[in-house]
Structure 1
Amino acid sequence: MNKYKQEILDHQINAMEFVKSLSFLSEDQWRTPIQEGKWTIAEIIGHFKPWDEFVIKHRLPYLFSAEELPKGPDAQKINLESAASSREESMRDTLNKFILMRKEFYEEILYLPDELWEREFYIGSSKLSLYEYLKGLADHDCHHFEQIKNTQPFLK
Structure 2
Amino acid sequence: MNKSKIIEEKLNLINWCESLKNLTDEIWFAAFKEGSWGIADVISHFISWDRFLLENRIPFIIRSEEYPPIKVDVETINAEAYRYARSGRSRVELINEFIAIRKHLVSQIDTIPDERFQNHMNIGSSNETLADYFKELIEHDKRHMNQINTLIEEMIP
10, 22, 25: which one aligns with 1:24: 22
Please state how far the C-alpha of 1:36 moved relative to its aligned partner. 1.6
* 1:122 matched to 2:149: no
% of aligned pairs identical?
33
Distance 1:26 1:4, change over 3 A: same
Unaligned runs of 5+ in 2: none
Unaligned runs of 5+ in 1: none
Residues 61-140 of structure 1 correspond to what in structure 2 (within 5 A)? 61-63=59-61, 65-88=64-87, 89-140=89-140
**What do the CA deviations read for 1:90-138 (whole angstroms, capped 9, x no partner)?**
1111101100000001101111101101000112330111101111111
The letter of the residue matching 1:98 is F
Please state how far the C-alpha of 1:56 moved relative to its aligned partner. 1.5
Q: Distance in 1 between matches of 2:66 and 2:136?
A: 23
| 1:128 aligned counterpart, secondary structure | strand
| 1:121 aligned counterpart, secondary structure | strand
45, 50, 53: which one aligns with 1:52: 50
Q: Distance in 2 between matches of 1:81 and 1:135?
A: 25
TM-score, scaled relative to structure 1:
0.91
**What do the CA deviations read for 1:40-74 (whole angstroms, capped 9, x no partner)?**
10001111112111111211222363444341431
Are the counterparts in 2 of residues 19 and 95 from structure 1 also a CA contact under 8 Å?
yes
TM-score, scaled relative to structure 2:
0.90
Are the counterparts in 1 of residues 56 and 67 from structure 2 also a CA contact under 8 Å?
no
Aligned to 1:151: 151
Q: Distance in 2 between matches of 1:135 and 1:37?
A: 29
Q: Distance in 1 between matches of 2:97 and 2:73?
A: 21
More off after superposition, 71-80 vs 105-114? 71-80
